[in-house]
Structures are given as structure tokens and as C-alpha cells.
């Protein structure tokens, strides 16, 4: 397991063998959190989760 706060400072994923898997798992977790927060009317928290999800999506696509 990785420390998420450290990962958020990364601009690219350092290990090609795990690049598609690990960041994608974090992306899905944060995206689903965003959807859940929206359904409960927590728009600020939803936006926070979506911003994190977008960062992980970029990491999964980094070379």
C-alpha cells in the first residue's frame, strides 16, 4: 500500500509494471466516493474526490 498524500505530489508513475493497476484502483475509489458524496448532497466533498480521481487517472496514463 502507498501513502496517498505522497502519491499526489507525483507527476508520473515510477513503475511501468504497476502503472495501469494501482493508480486506476485509486482513481475508481475516489470517483465512486465523488458519486456517493454527490448523491448525499455534499458537493464540496464530491469535488475534492473528483479532483483526486482526475490526478490518479493522469498517473495511470503517464509515461
- The pLDDT tens digits for 34-61 are 999 999 999 999 999 999 999 999 999 8
Name the pTM for this structure. 0.84
Q: Quote the pLDDT of residue 47.
A: 98
Can you give the chain as a three-state secondary structure string? CCCHHHHCCCCCCCCHHHCCCHHHHHHHHHHHHHHHHHHCCCHHHHHHHHHHHHHHHHHHCCC
- The pLDDT tens digits for 13-22 are 988 899 889 9
Which of these, 46, 27, 28, lies nearest to 38 by C-alpha position?
Answer: 46
Amino acid at each position: 500500500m502507498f501513502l496517498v498524500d505522497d502519491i499526489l505530489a507525483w507527476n508520473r508513475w515510477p513503475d511501468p509494471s504497476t502503472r495501469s493497476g494501482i493508480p486506476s484502483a485509486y482513481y475508481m475509489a475516489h470517483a465512486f466516493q465523488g458519486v456517493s458524496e454527490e448523491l448525499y448532497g455534499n458537493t464540496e466533498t464530491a469535488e475534492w474526490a473528483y479532483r483526486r480521481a482526475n490526478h490518479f487517472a493522469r498517473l495511470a496514463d503517464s509515461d
